[in-house]
Chains A and B, each alone.
Chain A
Amino acid sequence: MTRLLALAAALVASLVFTGLSMAQEPLRVDVTRGNLDPLPIALPDFAGESEEALSRGSDITRVVTNDLASSGLFAPIDPAAYIEDIENIDLRPRFSDWRVIDASALLVGSVTIQDDGRLVVAFRLWDTRLEEQLLGLQYRTAPENWRRVAHKVADAVYQRLTGEEGYFNTRIVYVAEGRGIEGEPLRQLAIMDQDGANPSFLTDRSYMALLPNYSPNSQEITYVSFLEGQATTYLYDLETGRQEALFSSAMRSAGLDPDGQSLSARFSPDGESLAVSVETRSGHDIHLYDLRTRSLDRLTQHPADDVEPSFSPDGERIVFSSSRGGGSQLYTMNRDGSDVQRITFGNGRYTTPVWSPRGDLIAFTKQSGGTFSLGVVRADGSGIERILFEGYFVDTPAWSPNGRVLLFTRGEPRTDGTRYEIWSVDLAGFNLRRLATGGMASDPAWSPLIE
């Protein structure tokens, strides 16, 4: 009898132990499946000693909460459920208070305003089951940069819990679409934080601006401008607002019509050259532009239109779309134009290829029958394509810097014409969300992570 009891006790103990060891696996969010089971996280307002610090603390918490929720990987818990009031982040939280409301992770923080006005934002990320600190950091910054710091906190939490770099401290350049007094289309470049904050225009209403792309150091963009009547590639310095037509003289020296079209130019990963489609006598061909020597080298020579080039992250290859096979399909080639390989073979028109920052995938738009879709295909053309979104109209995919999320232009028919908005979707095809632009918008360009 006692032996039996002992055995039972041992069994129970082992069960309890197994249960414990399962619970003690470190917190981890799988970015490829996280949407199915978002991680419950508590984010009480960051503490502060003064009213001003408290108010900034709650601003920061709001931004961090919104960032994490927008990824679809985290499920912030309603603050009304919180039991413990966090006043000092240097004391260990009462973990049972957080476990009982099902918070697996707890982010606590504080804001201190220094005598010189600068902010010190400190935070600790806790695993409530292991009762362990996962992360403890502080940032010191000018007071007007509080949003940047909030995004950095969100990026740090995302990185600690997913193992992947975050993408919250980023900006987005896009085309704000509108109509003028006489109904004429307006397309102005605009810039905003990834969460929609701090929007401003980069160009005015007097000419159309389209198809922006970021430089690897986030300081410049290229875009297509109608300032001179014809679609022309421009380089725009985001710090100074200075801009210049890039290729006019290079096109002349290359024997091309200097007034011909030049389209959307994308930077090589080292920032030293651009790949661009330029109008030639026989159509459009991909060219490589050296930003130092300011020379244009022709990479493709096909009578069909070759457009929309995009570099691989190692800078060795370029993907582009071409009508050389009849309908538009996607091709890759070496950066000197050699070794051209077709990578899509499906029915329909494939356009807008963009190489993932991770290197393995290429995002594209596909037009088939009456519908458009956003998809990804392996960069070597093997395997089958994966469709992430299907709808009335899709254009201009843009990768998050960590290659986990895509922004794209989405069009929906309305009685007064098609309405264009920017939407995001993750690589698993989940978490479809509208980007918080003021009005109609298109052509997103996602900045690298801001240092």
Chain B
Amino acid sequence: MNIKLFAIAALGAFATACASTPPADDPEPIEPPRSAEPVDRGPSEPAGPTPGSTEHFVQTAGDRVFFGLDRHDLTNEARETLRRQAAWLASYSDARILVAGNCDERGTREYNLALGARRANAARDYLISQGVDPSRISTVSYGKERPTCTQSNEQCWAINRNATTSIVGSGYTN
């Protein structure tokens, strides 16, 4: 329940923040605010997330970078987020990650599966350029099959065009 409320609040904040975003057919990448993503990883510990945990990663680095319509190139903001991810990964050298590429629903299915792979690979390649060992990173494309936001509007589609990093195998267990 708390999570849902948080998600709705986050979406509301996003909609307001995005009031000045370009029209849907503008090819420029859209920059959703970093804090906009609904977090669905369970309620936080009252005392703050355990260092090295997924929650800690989300809070300190940000787990998600966003892409423009039909784009797979990284925006400046995406690069910033990925640099923070790389720094976090340098501090928790046991952690291994899965980078998942996602797309909005305004594209055909197979096309989006390929586009999602490009997004995941773009994020992975940048993390590697920031010193993350390639063997710690795996990638997957969900195409448009696992949207964060299921409504049919531009705000939702912008949220769904992302590469999301999650912590998969590290020393710690949640």
Contacts and interface: CB of A to CB of B under 8 A. Distances in A.
Contacts of B135: none
A327 B151 CA distance: 26
Contacts of B117: 261, 279, 284
A279 B106 CA distance: 22
Interface in B138-173: 138, 140-141, 143, 145-147, 150-152
Contacts of B64: none
B107 to A, nearest CB: 7
Given A261-B141, A418-B105, A277 B152 contact: no
Contacts of B110: 211, 224, 263-264, 277, 307-308, 351-352
B24 A210 contact: no
A35 interface: no
B25 A211 contact: no
Grouping DSSP codes into helix (H, G, I), strand (E, B) and loop, the A interface class, with mixed when no group exceeds half, is strand
B115 interface: yes
Interface string A226-263: 10011100000000000000000000000000010101
A325 interface: no
A415 B153 CA distance: 10
Interface stretch (A26-34, A109-117, A363-371): A363-371
A414 interface: yes
Interface residues of A, number: 45
Interface in B100-137: 105-111, 113-115, 117-118
B70 interface: yes
B70 A349 contact: yes
A194 interface: no
A97 B113 CA distance: 60
A344 interface: no
B108 A263 contact: no
A305 B115 contact: yes
Contact of A229 (B109, B111, B140): B140
Contact of A305 (B114, B138, B150): B114
Nearest to B143: A231
Contacts of A308: 110-111
A365 B141 CA distance: 22
B71 to A, nearest CB: 12
A308 B112 CA distance: 11
A125 interface: no
Contacts of A367: 106-108
Given A352-B108, A395-B109, A396-B109, A261 B152 contact: no
Interface residues of B, number: 25
B48 to A, nearest CB: 26
Nearest to A321: B111
B143 to A, nearest CB: 7
B144 to A, nearest CB: 10
Contacts of B24: 370
Given A416-B150, A418-B152, A283 B118 contact: yes
Contacts of A321: 111
Could you say which of A259, A415, A418 has the most chain B C-beta atoms within 10 Å of its C-beta? A418
Contacts of A365: 108
A123 interface: no
Interface string A59-80: 0000000000000000000000
A396 B110 CA distance: 9
Contacts of A46: none
B114 A443 contact: no
Contact of A210 (B105, B109, B111, B114): B109
A396 B109 CA distance: 8
Q: Which of B105, B110, B141, B146 has most A Cβ within 10 Å?
A: B110
Nearest to A365: B108
B158 to A, nearest CB: 15
A264 to B, nearest CB: 5
B152 A417 contact: yes
Contacts of B152: 413-414, 417-418
Q: Which of B109, B141, B147, B151 has the most CB of A within 10 A?
A: B109
A163 interface: no
Contact of A187 (B145, B147, B150): B145
A284 B101 CA distance: 15
B106 to A, nearest CB: 7
A328 interface: yes
Contacts of A393: 105-106
Contacts of A211: 109-110
B70 A263 contact: no
Contact of B145 (A210, A279, A396, A413): A210
Nearest to A228: B140
Contacts of A261: 113-114, 117, 141
A369 B114 CA distance: 21
B122 to A, nearest CB: 12
A98 B108 CA distance: 49
13 contacts: A183-B150, A185-B145, A230-B140, A259-B138, A305-B114, A327-B70, A351-B110, A351-B111, A367-B107, A396-B109, A413-B152, A417-B151, A417-B152
Sorted nearest first, the 5 A-B pairs with minimum C-beta distance are: A413-B152, A417-B150, A351-B108, A305-B114, A395-B108
Given A211-B110, A231-B113, A367-B107, 4 more contacts: A284-B114, A367-B106, A418-B105, A442-B109
